[in-house]
Structure 1
Amino acid sequence: MSLPQPVPPSWKDLGKSSNDLLGKEYYINGASLEVKTQTPSNVAFKVQGTRDSKSDAIHGDIEGKWTDKVHGLTLTQTWTTSNVLRNQVELDNLMAKGLKLDLATSLTPDKGSKSAILNAAYKQSGLHTRAALDVFKGPTFTADTVLGRDGFLVGAEAAYNVTGGNITRYAAAVGYNAPEYAVTLHGLNNFKTFSASYYHRVSRDVEAGAKAIYDSKSTHGGVALEVGTKTYLDSSAFVKAKINNAGVVNLGYTQSLRPGVKASFGLAIDTQKLNETSPIGPAHKVGVHFVFDS
């Protein structure tokens, strides 16, 4: 008798280890601040703001999240400086074990634009499937499924326009997850874009990863390649570095100053323009990010 299989990652999380390594914690577009607080009544507040170094524009939002773990209910409300109101209601394991339902809505009062997306996710041993209905856009029905067994993963996604009666998007992926490494291959955008990602935990303190993307419709052609690494200096600090085939180097440093206080610094250097300035601004970018979590 085979052992029970673990729940595989969702479609959007296929290749997550590599994507996080190469995409997160590089703060290079200005200054940002994030403040998190928690009340005794299970209400979490989060305020975050960003000042873009290119446009000098300041964007921010305030979020309140109430959670009832006993009944699997979560309510999240967000108000942004762009005057966008977002609401999300989540029901987890309420109707059936492994089933999660959520309704996400947004409203922009001054523009009159609105959206509503109904999501459902079902997780069981060896299976992770999701479905989403965009009520106002199309309406469009999107579904994806990931099957996993002994580390091997197979997934597919498709979007269907209910009004037009046609499939508007489809994609597929295969991969393999092991405790120390992961490999994922994607065929996206109706198989017009292909990507391959690799992640390896070299040791307890060192991680490495790479990602290659080929877009058959790209006017430049060729393959976009990016490689990176993450090294833990100690229990409270780590550094990250990555470089792509365009010669852009990104560096990141994150330091936990004290419990609940974290600072991150980022730098991007275009090695082909070390003594130049691009037409739209500096060729090199810097940024800083602070987190206060009580």
Structure 2
Amino acid sequence: MSAPAAVPPSWKDLGKSANDLLSKDFPINGTQLEVKTKTPSNVSFKVSGLRDSKSANINGDIEGKYVDASKGVIFTQAWTTSNVLKSQLELENNIAKGLKLDIQSSLLPQGGGKSALAGAIFKQPGLHGRAFLDVFKGPTFTLDSVVGKDGLLAGAETSYSVQDGKISKYAAAVGYSAPEYAVTLHGLNNLNVFAASYYHRVSRDVEAGAKAIYDTKIGPSNVNLEVGAKTYLDNAAFVKSKINNAGILALGYTQALRPGVKASFGLALDTQRLNDTSAGPSAHKIGAAFTFES
């Protein structure tokens, strides 16, 4: 008897392995600090801040989260330095097995700006579907779904504007996922932008990946390509590197100093301007991130 089909990833997580490899753990835009704590009553707090190296502005937020795993309830409240209040309520397996309700809102008290997003996520073996209603923007309905079997994945997304009475955007994707590698092809922005990604766990200590993006509106000769790799030095440290066809080389180093304490350092170099004395320091970036968790 064959094993039951697994739940495929959601639409936003298609190609996640390659995206995480090429985007995470490169703190090159400034200095970031993140502190996480958790109480015995299942309430956790997170405070994070980033000092942007270009503008010298400091942006941050404080977040509180309550989790009741037995009832499938998660409530999150956040307040940012931009004076934005964010709330999120998640209810999983309350109405039906495999169904999750997600309600998100944000409020800008000073300017009166607000947003509300109500969503439903349905997960079953071989199917992962989501539906969202953006209450104040349109309103707009967004539906996406991913089906999968034996590693093969196919997904689609579409948005319908109630005010305009027409489909505002659509996209599609196909892929294949295995324990050692994954490939994904996206057709985005009404099938005007195509993105292909590849991820490969070469060995227990080495990962590699690449991503190419082609915008049909720009021209057939303009394809953005990025390749990267990750190497574990030991159980507590790893290094990452990536380079794109514009010649931007990024390096990242992450070290777990002790349980709950992690430090990351990043460097980005414009390899085409290394000897350009007029470029100045703005051609290159450096940054660091520190995480404390208890």
Please give the secondary structure, in 1, of the residue aligned with 2:20. Answer: helix
Question: 144-153 or 271-280: which moved more?
Answer: 271-280
Provide the rounded CA distance (Å) in 1 between the counterparts of 2:279 and 2:140.
40
TM-score (norm 2): 0.98
Provide the rounded CA distance (Å) in 2 between the counterparts of 1:140 and 1:277.
50
TM-aligned CA deviation for residue 276 of structure 1: 3.1
TM-aligned CA deviation for residue 37 of structure 1: 0.2
Provide the rounded CA distance (Å) in 1 between the counterparts of 2:189 and 2:254.
35
Provide the rounded CA distance (Å) in 2 between the counterparts of 1:220 and 1:145.
30
* Residues 1:187 and 1:128: Cα distance change in structure 2 (over 3 Å): same
Deviations 1:238-263 (A, max 9, x none): 00000000111000000000000000
TM-aligned CA deviation for residue 169 of structure 1: 0.4
User: What amino acid does structure 2 have at the position aligned with 1:28?
Assistant: I
User: What amino acid does structure 1 have at the position aligned with 2:82?
Assistant: S
Q: How does 1:40-119 map to 2 (within 5 A)?
A: 40-119=40-119
* Residues 1:97 and 1:280: Cα distance change in structure 2 (over 3 Å): farther
The answer to whether the 8 Å contact 2:273/2:279 transfers is no
The answer to whether the 8 Å contact 1:37/1:44 transfers is yes
Please give the secondary structure, in 2, of the residue aligned with 1:17. Answer: helix
Deviations 1:195-232 (A, max 9, x none): 10000000000000000000112269421000000000
Provide the rounded CA distance (Å) in 1 between the counterparts of 2:220 and 2:94.
50
The answer to whether the 8 Å contact 2:29/2:54 transfers is yes
* Unmatched tracts of structure 2, length 5 or more: none
The answer to whether the 8 Å contact 2:27/2:265 transfers is yes
* Cα RMSD, aligned residues only: 1.3
Aligned residues: 294
Deviations 1:154-204 (A, max 9, x none): 000000001211000000000000110000000000000001000000000
Provide the rounded CA distance (Å) in 1 between the counterparts of 2:54 and 2:276.
16
Question: 188-197 or 280-289: which moved more?
Answer: 280-289
Q: How does 1:128-139 map to 2 (within 5 A)?
A: 128-139=128-139
What is the aligned partner in structure 2 of residue 262 from structure 1? 262
TM-aligned CA deviation for residue 19 of structure 1: 0.2
User: What amino acid does structure 2 have at the position aligned with 1:287?
Assistant: G
What is the aligned partner in structure 1 of residue 246 from structure 2? 246
Identity of aligned residues (%): 68
TM-aligned CA deviation for residue 3 of structure 1: 3.1
What is the aligned partner in structure 2 of residue 164 from structure 1? 164
1:237 aligns with 2:227: no
The answer to whether the 8 Å contact 2:231/2:238 transfers is yes
TM-score (norm 1): 0.98
